[in-house]
A and B are shown apart, each in its own frame.
Chain A
Amino acid sequence: MLNDSDFDSRQTKATSALSDSVHDENLWANLKIGNELAFSMLYKRYVNRLFNYGMHSCKDRDLVKDCLQELFARLWAKRETLGVAGSVNYYLFKSFRRLLIAKLIANRKFSLPFRGEPTSVFEFIPPTEDSIMEDEAKSHQLAMLKNSINSLTKRQREAIFLKFFNDLSYHEISSIMELRVDSVYNLISKSIDVLRVKLKGSVIFMVLFCLFPG
C-alpha cells in the first residue's frame, strides 16, 4: 500500500518539476547582481518547463529553442534593470509567451498576411496520440481523461495548464494570456465543468469535485 518510498519518489519528482518560490526570489536577486551561478540555476530550473509550454503551442522544436535562447540571453543582458514584477515563474512565462508570439507572427509574414489578434497565433494544440504514454493509454480512466483534456478549447487548455501544472495565479494567468481576470475565472470554471461531465462516476471526478468545488 502506501509506503515511505512512494512518498519519497514523488517528492523527488515534484521538487524537480515545481520549484520553490522563495528560492526563486533568492536566485533572481542574485541574478540581478550578476551571479552567473544563480543564472545557470534559473536556466536549468525553467528551461524544460518553458520548453514544454512552448511545444504545446507550436510543435516547432527549433523555434521554441530560439525563443528560449533569446529569453535567457536577454535576461542576462538586462539583469541590472530587471524589475520584480510578481513571481519569477510568472515573469518568465509571460516574457516567453510574448517572444514566441512575436516569432510566430514574423514567420507568417513570409507566407500569408497575418490578420486578427496577435495572441491568436498562440494555440494550445491537443496532445497527439504518439505523445500519450503507452501504459497510460491502457487505463480506461486515463483514456477518458485524455479525451476530456482534448474536449477543452485551446484557451481552456492553456489556462488549466498554467493554473494546475505551473502554479500560476488567476491574476498572473490573466496577464500572461492577455485576458481579464474574470475571463480567466470563467475559462477555468468552464473547463472544470467539462471535465466533471466527462469524468462523471470515476474516482478522478470525485477528486476534482472535491478540489474545485462550485
Chain B
Amino acid sequence: MDENFRAWVWNPTDESNQFWRSWIANHPDKTDEVYEAISLLNKLSFPNYRLTEEETSSLWHDIRNFSQSKKKVVSDKSSSFGWWLGAAAGVILATVSSLLIWNHDNTISYETAYGETRTLLLPDSSTVILNANSRIVLSDDWNKNATRKVWLAGEAFFEVVHTRNHQPFQVKVGDGLAVEVLGTSFNVYHRESDTKVVLNSGKITLTYPEAKEEKKIVMKPGELVEYKEDRIVKREVDPTMYASWTENKIILNQTSLLEMIRMAKDNYGVEIEVASEKMLTQTVSGSMPTGNAENFANQIARVFQLQIIRENNKILLHE
C-alpha cells in the first residue's frame, strides 16, 4: 500500500477504482485488512463544520448584493434585442447578474423577459443564446465525469464545446425529450406541448418517451425533428433559418401568418388577433428584423401587407 491508497480512499476516480478493485481481487487474503483500513481512513477526520442550506444561500445573496453595490454599471433593465447583441460583451456580462437565480434545490437558472435575448457562457465554455421569454436551469455542480445537464423552457441556440474526456451534454425539455451531444451546435424550441430541435452541425441523439418506452433517434445536420403529442416528425430544413433569431433577424420561408402570431406571443407576450381566420394561412418569404414588441407587430403587418389597428392594448390585423 502506498500514497495512492490514501488518494483512492479520499478521492477515488474511475481509474483508481479500477486499479484497486483488481488489486483486491488479486489479493483475496488482504481483503479484510483493506476493508478495515478503508473504514478507518474514511473516519480519520477533523470534525466537519458546515453551513446550513439557508446560511449558504443567504451568504451568497449578501455576496451578490455587496459586489453589486460597488458596481457602477448600467441598469439591469431588460431591453429589446435590437441593440442588445451589438452591445459590448462587458455590458452583457455585467447585466446578466440580475437574472442569475440560485435555487434551493442546488440548481442555477437564467431567465429572459419578453423581447430580450441573452448570451450565456457555461462553465465548460459552451455558449447558450437564450431567446426571449425562456428559462434555462442547470445543476450547480458539473463535475468532470458527469453528463453536463441543462433543462430548457422556451428557445435556445447551443454551441457545445467537446470536452477532452468526451463528457456528454444533455438538454432536457418538459415532456421527456432529451437532446444528447458531445459537441455541436443546434437550436431547441420547447413551448407548451411543442418541441422542435434543429441541428446545424455535428451529430446529436434524441431520446423521447413513446408508449412508456425510451426511444432514440440520431439526427444529421440540416434536419428538424418535431415532437408533439408523443409523435416524432423528421424533415429537412435550412438550419440557419431556425437560428436566425440569434442574429436579430427572422428568415421567412413560406412562413404563415399563424406562425408569426405565435412568435409574437412567445417572444414578446403580444396577442395579435386577425379579422378573419382564413388570413392565418397566408405565407411570405424573405427576412425581417426582430425588434421590440411595438414594432414586431408593425413588421408583421408590413411583410404580410395588412392593416394594423390598435385598440385598448389589443392588436388587430385586417386586410
Contact = CB atoms under 8 A, between A and B. Distances in A.
Question: Chain A interface secondary structure, helix, strand, loop or mixed?
Answer: helix
Interface of B: 1-3, 5-6, 9-12, 17, 21, 24, 31, 33-38, 40-51, 55-56, 59-60, 62-63, 66-67, 70, 90, 93-94, 96-97, 100, 102, 106, 108, 120-125, 138, 140-145
A33 B67 contact: no
Given A22-B144, A68-B59, A73-B66, A211 B122 contact: no
B132 to A, nearest CB: 20
Nearest to A7: B17
A2 B22 CA distance: 12
Nearest to B66: A73
A52 B37 contact: no
Given A2-B31, A7-B17, A56-B46, A44 B51 contact: no
Interface of A: 1-2, 7, 10-11, 14-16, 18, 20, 22-23, 26-27, 30, 33-38, 40-41, 43-45, 47-48, 51-52, 55-56, 65, 68-69, 72-73, 76-77, 127-128, 131-132, 136, 139, 141-142, 145, 149, 157, 161, 164-165, 167, 203-204, 206-207, 210-211
For the complex of A and B, 4 pairs with smallest distance between CB atoms: A131-B47, A55-B49, A34-B93, A73-B66
A36 B97 contact: yes
Contact of A51 (B49, B60, B144): B49
A31 to B, nearest CB: 10
Name the residue among B2, B47, B145 with the largest chain A CB count within 10 angstroms. B47
A145 B63 CA distance: 38
A118 B114 CA distance: 55
A52 B49 contact: yes
25 contacts: A10-B42, A11-B17, A18-B10, A30-B121, A34-B94, A35-B93, A36-B96, A37-B100, A37-B120, A38-B123, A51-B49, A51-B50, A65-B51, A65-B55, A68-B59, A73-B70, A77-B67, A127-B47, A128-B47, A131-B47, A145-B43, A149-B46, A206-B33, A207-B41, A211-B1
Given A2-B24, A203-B40, A36 B100 contact: yes
A46 B108 CA distance: 17
B141 A47 contact: no
A88 to B, nearest CB: 13
